[in-house]
């Protein structure tokens, strides 16, 4: 038995004698190798407390899973607990009274003081009540690089996006795909967002995403962004994979130079036995702008008309934020904990870079999911999917983007 599991078992025996052993179905979209290793930590901790974890993994991306999760809740077939991203994805479910109020757990465990940054708890709060348990902080603004690929091509590992672009011809000459990219709108939108932060900068990005300022979206800084995205599309033209983890695998195996992807990619490097700083490198803010967003995952608990289930849901919410689970889960997932009072000295070099940015307090951004409604996000993802799979010009893409931002909410 691992130490964390032992601790959980001991805590559960002492602290929770009143709660019956419970069987809860938990839905999520963690199906890659790294993600499965991380979710196993949650299941193990839950079962160590004498409960049963019924795993409801939904294969594919969040884009596939979310509509399934939401339609089950709306359609009267709710799971007991589910992953969603921090932000506005559950807004309508909360308004409809379909999610369990966790305020008593939040108060008993002092979440208002310990959850860091506070925006994560704010994203769970509606009209003063708490409806989700924040689980982790994931950021999207990372460029992951294969040392092997650059060594084979005989060039230095890039230190930023500009060097990455400059090194691409040498990689191509060596038969290596410069940029691995999964052909799905949400991944292409991550690349777009990463390039935006790196090239247009935080203020312009916030003006567009948070303030919905279409003039900034139409301006020269965004023209430079769209041109850079068109360059990225060129660098990824020989990348034929769909899933994000298959794109990460191209970097792990040195078939590609790099990937623009969230820090969950770390879970894949870890499962493959690769070491940050030795086998692969990571550049937050693409090495140009040391910023990260604080998106990630939270757990929501649909209302189920049964007191024992409700008690078990509250118990699980408490467990997810507990120090032991925060450490075990986040080390496996490559994400950062939602509380600052846990020991993450075991974190690898890349996680340490993320922790340093988080601790500095500068360079912390809201995630796209926090700033834009789901409807507007999906419109941008659809535009990106079309752009990356066609020869749409940068100018046309920018014009379409300006239209979306003009009516975004």
Minimal distance in Å, beta carbon 117 to ligand GAL?
16
Rounded Cα distance between 256 and 265, Å, is 14
Task: For helices 323-333 and 33-48, give the axis angle rounded to 10 degrees.
Answer: 160
Quick one: 186 or 388, whose CB is closer to ligand GAL? 186
Concatenating the DSSP letter of every residue in 19-81 gives: SPP-EEEEEE---SHHHHHHHHHHHHHHHHTT-EEEEEE--S-HHHHHHHHHHHHHTT---SE
x/- mask, ligand GAL, residues 190-229, rule CB under 6 A, reads ----------------------------------------
| Candidate ranges 27-35, 95-103, 169-177, 314-322; the one touching ligand GAL (CB under 6 A) | 27-35
Q: DSSP character for 285?
A: G
Task: Tell me: does residue 185 bind ligand GAL (CB under 6 A).
Answer: no
Minimal distance in Å, beta carbon 343 to ligand GAL?
22
Question: Among candidates 55, 77, 49, which has minimal Cα distance to 315?
Answer: 49
| Candidate ranges 19-27, 29-37, 108-116, 377-385; the one touching ligand GAL (CB under 6 A) | 29-37
x/- mask, ligand GAL, residues 56-85, rule CB under 6 A, reads -----xx----------------------x
Minimal distance in Å, beta carbon 138 to ligand GAL?
5
Sign of CA dihedral 254, 255, 256, 257: positive
Strand 256-260 and strand 177-180: the pairing is parallel
Rounded Cα distance between 222 and 219, Å, is 6
Task: Tell me: does residue 138 bind ligand GAL (CB under 6 A).
Answer: yes
Size of the site for ligand GAL (CB under 6 A): 12
Contacting residue, 268, 293, 297, 381, with ligand GAL by CB under 6 A: 297
CB 186 within 8 A of CB 319: no
Rounded Cα distance between 200 and 45, Å, is 43
Minimal distance in Å, beta carbon 262 to ligand GAL?
6
Minimal distance in Å, beta carbon 156 to ligand GAL?
30
Rounded Cα distance between 13 and 335, Å, is 29
Q: What does the angle CA 132 – CA 137 – CA 142 come to, to the nearest 5 degrees? A: 145
Structure tokens at 327: 């450490």
| Candidate ranges 28-36, 204-212, 219-227, 276-284; the one touching ligand GAL (CB under 6 A) | 28-36
Minimal distance in Å, beta carbon 173 to ligand GAL?
32
Question: Among candidates 74, 61, 69, 63, which has minimal Cα distance to 31?
Answer: 61
Contacting residue, 35, 293, 318, 381, with ligand GAL by CB under 6 A: 35
Positions touching ligand GAL (CB under 6 A) are 29-30, 35, 61-62, 85, 138, 244, 262, 264, 296-297
């Amino acid at each position: 038995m691992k130490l964390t599991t032992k601790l959980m078992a001991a805590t559960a025996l002492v602290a929770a004698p009143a709660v019956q052993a419970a069987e809860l179905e938990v839905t999520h979209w963690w199906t890659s190798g790294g993600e499965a290793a991380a979710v196993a930590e949650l299941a193990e901790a839950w079962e160590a407390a004498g409960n049963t974890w019924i795993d409801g993994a939904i294969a594919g991306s969040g884009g596939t899973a979310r509509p399934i999760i939401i339609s089950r809740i709306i359609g009267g077939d709710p799971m007991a607990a589910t992953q969603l991203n921090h932000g506005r994805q559950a807004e309508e479910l909360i308004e409809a009274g379909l999610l369990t109020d966790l305020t008593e757990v939040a108060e008993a465990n002092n979440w208002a003081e310990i959850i860091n940054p506070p925006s994560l708890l704010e994203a769970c709060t509606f009209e003063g009540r708490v409806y989700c348990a924040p689980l982790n902080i994931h950021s999207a603004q990372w460029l992951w690089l294969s040392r092997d690929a650059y060594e084979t091509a005989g060039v230095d590992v890039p230190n930023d996006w500009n060097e990455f672009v400059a090194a691409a011809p040498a990689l191509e000459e060596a038969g290596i795909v410069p940029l691995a990219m999964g052909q799905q709108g949400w991944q292409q939108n991550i690349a777009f967002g990463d390039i935006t932060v790196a090239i247009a900068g935080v203020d312009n990005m916030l003006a567009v995403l948070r303030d919905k300022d279409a003039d900034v979206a139409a301006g020269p800084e965004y023209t430079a962004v769209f041109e850079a995205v068109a360059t990225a599309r060129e660098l990824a033209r020989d990348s034929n994979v769909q899933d994000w983890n298959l794109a990460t695998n191209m970097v792990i195996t040195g078939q590609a130079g790099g990937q623009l992807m969230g820090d969950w990619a770390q879970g894949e490097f870890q499962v493959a036995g690769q070491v940050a700083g030795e086998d692969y490198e990571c550049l937050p803010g693409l090495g140009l702008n040391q910023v990260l967003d604080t998106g990630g995952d939270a757990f929501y608990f649909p209302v189920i008309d049964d007191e024992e289930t409700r008690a078990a849901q509250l118990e699980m919410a408490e467990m997810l934020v507990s120090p032991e689970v925060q450490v075990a889960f986040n080390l496996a997932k490559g994400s950062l904990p939602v509380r600052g009072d846990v020991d993450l000295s075991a974190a690898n070099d890349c996680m340490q870079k993320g922790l340093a940015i988080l601790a500095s307090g500068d360079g912390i951004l809201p995630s796209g999911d926090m700033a834009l409604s789901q409807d507007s996000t999906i419109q941008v993802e659809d535009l990106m999917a079309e752009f990356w799979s066609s020869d749409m010009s940068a100018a046309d893409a920018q014009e379409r983007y300006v239209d979306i931002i003009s009516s975004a909410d």
